[in-house]
Structure 1
Amino acid sequence: MNKLTLLGTGCPSPSHLRYGPSSLVSYEGTNYLIDAGSGVTQRLSEAGIKPGEIDYFFITHLHSDHIVDLYQLFISGWHTGRETKFKVFGPKGLKSHFDKIFEAYKEELDLRKEWEKRPNVEGLAYEITEINNELKIELDNATIESVKVDHHPVDPAFGYKFILGPKNIIFSGDTRYCEVLEKSSKDADILVHEVFVGLDYDPVRMSSDTIENISDYHTTPEEIGVLASNASVKKLILNHFVPPVFDEDVLVERIAKHFDGEIVVGKDLMQFDI
């Protein structure tokens, strides 16, 4: 069955209800994973998917909360039978980042390979394709396009558009209100968008600039509503909530003042037919 699964809808603040950001598109027998937040392998297990069954990985940007479990996916994919290269697409700098992690674990991995003698050695090869400005690629039965979003000072940062036969799904990644994203989301069947709900000042964890700066490079509920309305999105799915605990009814009300389409407050392990 063709479906979208929200694996993690949280943020860097730990939550047992919302794990780190990650989504799964399953289409015509191929699995595409978007981002690798903390706990994604556990959520995959809960969803009945082995890490070794993921065919392609897409990273939106190099913030730690979006890539922290990438190596875990690499190793657990090998453990669960992956026989082909670990194929990842993401922003410039991703290959260097992963090379360093691979090198840090090389001694342990060499020992494990030698002792465990698993037959699928090919599953320990990896191929990372870096996106400088634009990606448009056909993989199996899907076309995937990168969307350059605005998460400055994190640059580059991307969203992704999945064209799946007559349907299309847009993932915002992390971004401010972004006209490029709005244009790419025109008439989208599903827009999966991050949201900065709001933070209360805590002098133990924050300086006077913290809330302003975090808010500045994310998108507010009101801005999401305007973007979804302008783009005539059919279904808006909210994810990557900052903070992970909030009043859901109030959030929906804030967006609905600007957007009269379907609004879904995403939760981990929610699934949607494509």
Structure 2
Amino acid sequence: MDRIVLLGVKGGPAVRKNSQMPTASLLQLVGHNIVIDCGIGVSRSCVEAGVSLLQIDVIFITHLHSDHVLELGPLLYTAWTTGLNRQITVYGPPGIAEYWDGFLQSMAFDQQIRIADEGRQPIRDLVAFHVFGEGPVASIDEIDVSALRVDHPPVTDCFALRFQTADKNVVFSSDTCYFPPLADFAKAADVLVHEAMLVAGVDALVRRTPGADRLRAHLMASHTPAADVGRIAADAAVRRLVLNHMVPIDDPDFGDADWLAEVAKTYSGPVQVGKDGMEIILNP
């Protein structure tokens, strides 16, 4: 069954009681298990979605903000200590190899002990890293993957991803401000998973948080108001829009109706407000 599972839909790295988890998604397409971004909690969420870490084939990291990459190393390492005996391929932006080298250095003692004591194959032999930029990224059997550099200041290497087969087309926006070229990139997608910001919620956050003016300036420059997300979906004529990486997500004064009302200003198609564990079936 081809599907998307939202493993974490919260924007930002904080982990709070009774809130959603940071960004990660699972795409199951033509028999492949593909993870997009590895925010904290991704390993547990993947297993709860019914996919063992040993069943992951490919991982894509859209950019190097911590809420997208923090648990990449721990996920791969836990797969290794669980018995990984085949290769996992990781695609990431410039800097991803340095992240991996640093993580492995931090685990050097444990690696050496397990290789010597348990006879494990070195983890470097089981994980292949590829750096990508804008344009075609990979062909995974019947899946063609391409990337679009989006606008997420101050990060320059941040990419939306498009996964396309003969009969399915799924796009993940990554983190971005309102970026009209994304509509062409997502043209006629079956599902567009797009980050979203609720401006009224951000304003409420700033009002109750001393010294948060700089945070507001960052959010407004780097993320997409929900109404503009709807504008992208409408211009792209996507079949379904799914809101992801939502900011803010844990304010009890705002709920699904607020998100949907903003999107409805510009997009009249089907919309789902993302939740951790939400499953989106990809129909033929």
Q: Provide the TM-score with structure 1 as the length reference.
A: 0.94
CA–CA distance in 1 between the matches of 2:33 and 2:158? 22
**Alignment correspondent of 2:129:** 128
**Alignment correspondent of 1:240:** 245
CA–CA distance in 2 between the matches of 1:169 and 1:116? 41
Answer yes or no: is the 8 Å Cα contact 1:9–1:240 preserved in 2. Answer: yes
Task: Give unmatched runs, 5+ long, in structure 1.
Answer: none
CA–CA distance in 2 between the matches of 1:63 and 1:205? 24
Q: CA RMSD in A?
A: 1.7
Q: CA deviation at 1:82?
A: 2.3
Task: Please show how residues 51-130 of structure 1 align to structure 2 within 5 Å.
Answer: 51-118=53-120, 121=122, 125-130=126-131
**Alignment correspondent of 1:216:** 221
Q: Secondary structure of the equivalent of 2:243?
A: strand
Q: CA deviation at 1:204?
A: 5.2
**Alignment correspondent of 1:194:** 195
CA–CA distance in 1 between the matches of 2:154 and 2:9? 23
Pick from 268, 271, 275: which aligns with 1:267?
Answer: 275
Q: CA deviation at 1:126?
A: 2.2
CA–CA distance in 1 between the matches of 2:187 and 2:272? 18
CA–CA distance in 1 between the matches of 2:33 and 2:124? 16
Answer yes or no: is the 8 Å Cα contact 2:134–2:146 preserved in 1. Answer: no
Answer yes or no: is the 8 Å Cα contact 1:234–1:261 preserved in 2. Answer: yes
Q: CA deviation at 1:85?
A: 2.7
The letter for the 1-side match of 2:154 is P
**Alignment correspondent of 2:171:** 170
- Judged with a 3 Å threshold, the aligned counterparts in structure 2 of structure 1 residues 203 and 2 are, in CA distance, closer, same or farther, namely closer
- C-alpha distance after superposition, 1:152-200 (max 9, x if no partner): 2101100100002211000000001112211111111100001112322
Answer yes or no: is the 8 Å Cα contact 2:24–2:37 preserved in 1. Answer: yes
Deviates more, 1:58-67 or 1:44-53: 44-53
Task: Give unmatched runs, 5+ long, in structure 2.
Answer: none
Q: CA deviation at 1:203?
A: 6.7
CA–CA distance in 2 between the matches of 1:82 and 1:123? 12
- C-alpha distance after superposition, 1:118-148 (max 9, x if no partner): 4x55675322111133333211221111111
Q: CA deviation at 1:35?
A: 0.1
**Alignment correspondent of 2:23:** 21
**Alignment correspondent of 2:232:** 227
**Alignment correspondent of 2:3:** 3
CA–CA distance in 2 between the matches of 1:142 and 1:209? 41
* 1:50 is aligned to 2:55: no
Answer yes or no: is the 8 Å Cα contact 1:17–1:268 preserved in 2. Answer: no
Q: Provide the TM-score with structure 2 as the length reference.
A: 0.90
Identity %: 32
